[in-house]
Amino acid sequence: MNYRDPLFSVIMFFLIILSAIVLALVFGKIKEYLKQKEIEKLMKNFEYFNEDLNNPLNALLLLAKAYEKEGNYEKAIEIFLLIQKNYPSNRNLLNIANCYFRAGFLQKSQGIVEKILKTNPRNKEALKLLIFINEKFNNIKEIIDILEIFDELEVSLPKEKANAMIKLFLQNGCNIEEFCDGVKDFEDIYKKYPFVKREYLSYLFRVNPKKAYELVDVYENLDLYWHRNDIPENEKFCNILATKKLTNCKKKAPFEIEVLKNLNNNIAELEFEYICENCKKAFPLYSTRCPKCHELFTQKLIIKLMEKKEVENIEY
């Protein structure tokens, strides 16, 4: 075959592509092999404690947990997978599923959780993780099915039920007969579960601001209405209006509000943060479920005073 033949060029092109694919696969396997050897070497290093196999296992678990805590999920998963290879258990599978979930690999996490539940359908931690995964996928009905399993196990999860009801209501109304018994609207959810007050207020500020202002706590929920221009001109909100120089108010207020209220120049403003009462982590944005510990309705408002910055001449 002549090298100038077009068919020769096509064959050479595909051979180059095939060679590149083969080389990539070979290098990938070599890299994976070296990683495995590195972890196996690490595992052997822990065997100097004594001949008890639990010592290297516990040491590796601590190491994997340390990687997980610092957010290095890839390394943590590698070590957990090695542990699973040598000391298989559902407990360790759950560690792997948690790491995959935190790293954002939801399908992989779900697959492992379902594997655990096939052998241990009453595993509460696996069921709880499955709730978190389905929430990410917005599979509310699947969450309700899992909550029914918890009811059968006689485990009460009122916060998870309330959260599922809210999501269901905001989608198409709470229309699952047994689960939504006695619940017709958001107000019914709030009456049944008072700890959802912030979510209820957030909803009211969209559909019925007047009622929201009647129920809102002036300082605990300040971020929900601080930037609104329809704050009622009454005694309840006089300190807030005073910070905006819309009225005078002699009532005592939290430190940050007092400072802002008494500043003559427009040189400061409020900034909001949210701290989880469960894990004590602070976040710049509010979440119904804490991104760190995954507990519901635990974030509380922190009001901060900061220097006002004027942004000018922004170029795009």
pLDDT per residue as tens digits for the range 14-54: 777 887 787 778 777 776 666 666 655 655 555 444 444 44
One-letter amino acid at 249 equals: C
How far apart are alpha carbons 72 and 231 in whole angstroms?
A: 46
The mean pLDDT value for 95-117 works out to: 96
- How does pLDDT run across 165-202, given as a tens digit for each residue? 999 999 988 888 889 998 999 999 999 999 999 999 99
Q: Could you read off the pLDDT of 143-161 as tens digits, one per residue?
A: 999 999 999 999 999 999 9
What value does the mean pLDDT take over residues 49-63? 65
Q: Whole-angstrom distance between the N-terminal and C-terminal Cα of the chain?
A: 57
259 exposure class (CB count in 10 Å sphere: 0-12, 13-18, 19+): middle
Q: How many CA atoms lie within 13 A of 106 on its CB side?
A: 10
In 3D space, the residue among 77, 60, 59, 57 whose CA is nearest the CA of residue 68 turns out to be 77
Average pLDDT, the chain: 88
High-pLDDT (> 70) share of the chain, %: 87
pTM for the model stands at 0.80
In angstroms, rounded to a whole number, what is the distance separating the alpha carbons of residues 174 and 115? 31
| pLDDT at residue 214 greater than cutoff 70 | yes
